[in-house]
Amino acid sequence: MTVIAYKDGDPVTSSYLAASVNTNPVVIRRLLLALQDAGLVETRKGAGLGSRLSRSPARITLVEVFRAVEEENPFVLPPKKPNQTCPVGSCIQAALGMVFSAARQGMERELEKMTLGDILNAVKSCCVNGDMPLLAAYVSSPDSVFAQTLLAARGNRNQPQLRKGSR
């Protein structure tokens, strides 16, 4: 999604996306279908066509992206039930289920706070400046004092911008 956002409205093919993340275009097409079903991208087939965001990156939260492409709970219990006569085995799934549920809820709460635009800004900053601490600051908290201090030190008081011709 960040590659699509980076292309700023230009259609992006599944082959281009696959090359960017080093995977097969079939994997990308499957993900694009899920993203399209969630209303996050629009895809058109044919020469010179491809996928583009359905709305501004600043209006797409990471939790929307996660929910669109996550098929199963990221925290899963083993499919085989443990020995129910064992004191640990009889309770471990319920205990871990509570932990996994809380972990997913916490992760989703954090993803709700971040947008695709935040990630795009972090990537643009990294591409322009090669500054990994700045990238980390943007991902963790784009409006943090640390991120803003790094930007100010770079002479970029606003969001990072691409250099002309770097697209």
Domains in the chain, CATH or no CATH each: 2-60 (1.10.10.10), 73-114 (no CATH), 116-154 (no CATH)
Q: pLDDT by residue (tens digit) across 3-28?
A: 999 988 899 999 889 888 889 999 99
Q: pLDDT by residue (tens digit) across 64-122?
A: 999 999 877 777 888 888 999 999 999 999 999 899 889 889 999 999 999 999 999 88
Which of residues 57 and 70 earns the better pLDDT score? 57
CB distance 105 to 67 below 8 Å = no
pLDDT band at 148 (very low <50, low <70, confident <90, very high): low
DSSP secondary structure, 80-144, as one string: SPP-TTSTTTTTHHHHHHHHHHHHHHHHHHHHHT-BHHHHHHHHHHHHHH--HHHHHHHHH-TTS
